[in-house]
Amino acid sequence: MLSACAGSPAGPEASAPVTLSSRQVTLEGSVTRVDRGNRMVTIRGTEGGEIDVFAGDQVRNFDRLQVGDRVALDYTSAVALEIEPAGSGQVGASVQQGASRPAAGSRPGGAVSETVNLVAEVVAVDAAANRVTVKGASGNVTTLDVIREDLRARLPRLKAGDLLRLTVTEAVAVDIRPRPQ
C-alpha cells in the first residue's frame, strides 16, 4: 500500500512533509440529457464518451441545468508523509470533510473535499532491507517497503517510537457554465 517513508532529522523536531503523490485532473464536457425526475445528468466528454451522473438532493440549483450547458470537473488528490518525534502525538485516525454549494438561484456547481490523517508508531526499522514496521491505533502491525531512493536514504535516522503521519486529501469541484448562445 504505502511505498515510501521519510526519516526524522537528527534533532527532536519533526521532518517536513514529503509528497508521495499528487495529481490533478480536469474533465470537460457538455450536458446531453437531464432526467429531472431521477436527478440524472448525462455528460458527453470532449472525446465523445458519455457518463451518467446522479445529482443528489444536496446539489443545489439542479433545476437550472439545461442540455448544452458546459461542465468542468476538477479532481485533485494528494498524499503526504511526515515523521514526528516519539511522544509528540497520538496514534489514531481522523477525517475532515468540507463542502461548498452555490447560493440559491445561482449557477449549479460546488465542491467537496475529504482529508484523512493516519498516525502510526514506528516499531522497527530495517534500513538494510528498506523496510519500516508500524503499529496502528488498534494494535495492528504492518511492514512497509520503502521504494523511493530519496526516502531510503533517510531510514538510518528513523527510530522506533517515532510517529508516521500519512495525510490523504481528495477534492472535487464542479463548475457549470450556461450553454453557448
Contacts of 141 (CB under 8 A, 6+ apart): 123, 133, 134, 135
- Beta pairing partners, 126: 131
Q: Could you tell me the three cell numbers for 78?
A: 494528494
**181 residues of the chain, pLDDT tens digit each:** 334 444 333 333 567 888 888 999 988 999 999 999 999 999 999 999 999 988 887 788 888 889 999 998 899 999 999 999 999 999 999 999 998 888 888 888 888 999 999 999 999 999 999 999 999 999 999 999 999 998 898 899 999 999 999 999 999 988 888 767 6
Retrieve residue 37's grid coordinates. Answer: 425526475
Contact at 8 Å (CB) between 82 and 149?
no
